[in-house]
Amino acid sequence: MTLAEVAAAVSGALHTAGSDTPETVVSGTVDTDSRNLGAGDIFVAKPGEVTDGHRFVAGAAEAGVVLAIVEHTVEADVTQIVVADAVAALADLAREVVARVRAAGDLRVVGITGSNGKTTTKNMLARILQDEGETVAPRASYNNEVGAPLTMLRVTETTRYLVSEFGADAPGKIARLAGLVTPDVGVVLMVGLAHAGGFGGVEATLKAKTELVEAVRPGGVVVLNADDARVASMATVAAARDLTVRWFGHRTTADVRADDVEVTASGTISEITVDGEPHALRLQVLGAHHVMNALAAITAAGVLGVPAADAIARLETLEIAERWRMQPLGSDRVRIINDAYNASPDSMAAALRTLAQITEPGQRKVAVLGAMSELGDQAGEEHDRVGLLAVRLRYERIVVIGADARRLFISAIGEGSWDGEAVFFETADEAYGYLMGELRDGDRVLVKSSNVAGLRHLGDRLGESFS
């Protein structure tokens, strides 16, 4: 795009520098982190909670950045476009770029949302599609008002598939993000309690997740979880918009369904049926809950024309869903399962059950647990449930970390883990010292918490210690 076209797309005022003119063409990477940029790239100077991107414009210019999108001019030798809101400008630019690529080629867009499983399903679908053509998908969990547009801005004239992950902590955010690309296919995984505090309850979460169905373009397809009654209710919205619905799940009515799920220490096995045709699915990824994510990915890929056998073969090459998501670390002597990138009541329960399933007689189950965030008024009750579940699954050690998770510890003691089975520590360092003295050969250890609790780093540390 020319500088003038970029300025028009973001409704900004162009201030050229050096030999640049409004007709100068730019085509580099776009990012809000100047450390990721170099010659020919574009820096969006976003004000942040910790620092202000405008402080780094001059440094970005020295690194070769050719354009800075700013909220006020900065003393730097680089062309700048001044906008009212840098984050809004990022979204506007993403909308324009995706529209241009779509108009020029055969780009297909898939949007994914759900209270749990978005990142795993995104990675699974991207793995399937990358063998079909150039595929752009989010790095890590780039699913918010900054990460989603940055992903969209990675498409090129040769991109065939864009997989977008849409997260939200308040109503209207999915509508805004999905509205940037109007997906051809919308995938809704589940409606649970993740971020319920921000939404004001699970029914408000349902309404927010339905925004993706409402954003799918006319003639598009929605892929819905047949096992989740709230997700299934979105079929009414899809019908009103004349969208095709494809179903996945364990129900016999699902277009893509799973039966006979078996979780082992080396992966997850299931028999699946795709439009009446049986297939074996052998994932290296741990956890019965990941079968549902695989079903969603296979269903979406099928909508895009990928045969089920091809989709399954590609999924079976995935070793982990994502770093810090049911990631096996350590060794056969002491196995660490680091699943501490995110946590909700549903994912916490699924992870606890998975470790219980893969622990053999004579081995101990150890749960290292931190707080689940953004649960609002339901936080106390949901932490109680996790404590009770860990005891009922007969975890030999329950290690609880952080003041926000203390109620989980108290609940476990109340359920019967009062003779040293459950212990509490204020910090991860204290817990690490305890675990290094407590863990022994044959132990199987789950590390699980929300991202803000920071236990993923404890999981890495334990994995390194027992590797």
Residue 159 labelled as part of a binding site = no
Q: Determine contact, residues 372/348, Cβ cutoff 8 Å.
A: yes
Q: Which residues of 105-122 are buried (b: 16+ CB within 10 A; e: fewer)?
A: eebbbbbbbbbbbbbbbb
| Cα gap 262→163, rounded to integer Å | 29
- C-alpha to C-alpha distances, 379 to 31, 201, 325, 404, 407, nearest whole angstrom: 35, 11, 22, 9, 9
Residue 46 labelled as part of a binding site = no
| Cα gap 61→287, rounded to integer Å | 47
Residue type, 121: T
Query: Dihedral (C-alpha) 191, 192, 193, 196: value to the nearest 10 degrees?
Result: 0
- C-alpha to C-alpha distances, 249 to 184, 194, 274, 275, 299, nearest whole angstrom: 21, 20, 11, 12, 10
Q: What is the DSSP string of 344-405?
A: -HHHHHHHHHHHHHHPPTTPPEEEEE-PPPS-GGGHHHHHHHHHHHHHHTT-SEEEEESGGG
Residue 114 labelled as part of a binding site = yes
CA angle 376–381–387, rounded 5-degree value: 125
CA 270 vs. chain centroid, Å, equals: 23
Residue 116 labelled as part of a binding site = yes
- C-alpha to C-alpha distances, 181 to 99, 104, 249, 319, nearest whole angstrom: 7, 15, 27, 30
Among 67, 60, 62, 63, CA closest to 27: 67
Q: What is the DSSP string of 213-244?
A: HHHSPTT-EEEEETT-HHHHTHHHHHHHTT-E
Q: Determine contact, residues 326/287, Cβ cutoff 8 Å.
A: yes
| Cα gap 263→340, rounded to integer Å | 20
Residue 317 labelled as part of a binding site = no
Which amino acids are annotated as binding site for ATP, given as ranges? 114-120
Which amino acids are annotated as binding site, given as ranges? 114-120
